[in-house]
Amino acid sequence: MQFILACMAVGTVFGAGLAIATEANNPPVQETKPLRYLAKFDERFKAADKDGDGALSRPEAQSAQMDRVLTHFGKLDQNGDGKLTREEVRALLRSRLAS
């Protein structure tokens, strides 16, 4: 009887340790996927911003072949200044990725 209880205790400890180790090595997909998309967008945004002003004009987005940005340029340009800042676009990306 004591042998069975000892085996159960050892199995519980090893099983819990294995579960914790497995979970630590596999971060939740939901958290990393949006971050990966936002990081990729930041790279494309920076490359497309030819004049380095931190915003994209229509011609800059067009030359970078950012078709989705061009299609929704009016909706993305929240302050109506004719340029898209990184935060204006990221706000929409965040809302779409969260849903």
Residue 80 is assigned to a structural domain of this protein: yes
Can you give the CATH number for the domain in which 82 is found?
1.10.238.10
Residue 19 is assigned to a structural domain of this protein: no
The domain of 59 spans 28-98
* Separation CA 64–CA 46 (nearest Å): 10
Residue 17 is assigned to a structural domain of this protein: no
Residue 11 is assigned to a structural domain of this protein: no
Task: List, in sequence order, every residue forming a beta bridge with 55; answer none if it has no partner.
Answer: 85
Residue 82 is assigned to a structural domain of this protein: yes
Residue 6 is assigned to a structural domain of this protein: no
Residue 50 is assigned to a structural domain of this protein: yes
Bigger pLDDT: 50 vs 91: 50
Which residues, other chains included, contact 55 with Cβ-Cβ below 8 Å and sequence gap of 6+? Answer: 49, 83, 84, 85, 86
pLDDT at 23: 56
Provide the number of structural domains found in the chain: 1
pLDDT at 49: 94
Residue 54 is assigned to a structural domain of this protein: yes
pLDDT at 96: 73
Statement: residue 85 has pLDDT above 80: yes
pTM: 0.58
pLDDT band at 61 (very low <50, low <70, confident <90, very high): very high
pLDDT at 50: 93
